[in-house]
Amino acid sequence: MSERICPFSATLVQEDFGCPNANPIVRRGGAEIACTAAQAHARCKNLFQRLKDAALPEFGVEDDLLKMPHSVLVKVQYGGLLGLQRSLDSSAGPGSAVDDIDSLVAAAVERFGSVDTIPCADFCDTIVSYKLPGRRKRKKS
């Protein structure tokens, strides 16, 4: 299962969004989220790649982990899911959280026919304008 690292891990590690397939794992480098469902993982991985393909040119960066700021990937995760949510539910506000990533992606696939036909380019404004959450203060012991 450890090979199925969630492509939207940043949203789940921070506990801002939710997913029933999320399984937290702890490693030396910090927490990660593994996906317990192979089909859902493949669908989300494909969506995340399409979101990156659409959004990275807007940031002026290449899809290279050594050159791309981590903050860009986090914005793609948060902004991409929020943009997708708004495309399915126009009443979702700008600060709305995604309670169930798997259900959101499944609903998008049902509406648009497949992950490959989801209009990811339409979410670029949401991705680019997404404000990253501030650093959380550690509790003093």
pLDDT digits (tens, 9 = 90+) for 97-140: 899 999 999 999 999 999 999 999 999 999 999 998 666 555 55
- pLDDT at site 135: 64
- pLDDT at site 29: 75
Tell me the three-class secondary structure of 22-89, residue by residue.
EEEEEECCEEEEEECCHHHHHHHHHHHHHHHHHHHHHHCCCCCCCCCCHHHHHHHHHHHHHHHHHHHC
Can you give the pTM of this predicted structure?
Answer: 0.87
Residue 1: pLDDT band (50, 70, 90) is very low
Q: What is the mean pLDDT of the chain?
A: 89
Q: What is the mean pLDDT of residues 16-38?
A: 90
**Rounded Cα gap, residues 138 and 141, in angstroms:** 9
Helix (H, G, I), strand (E, B) or coil at 5: strand
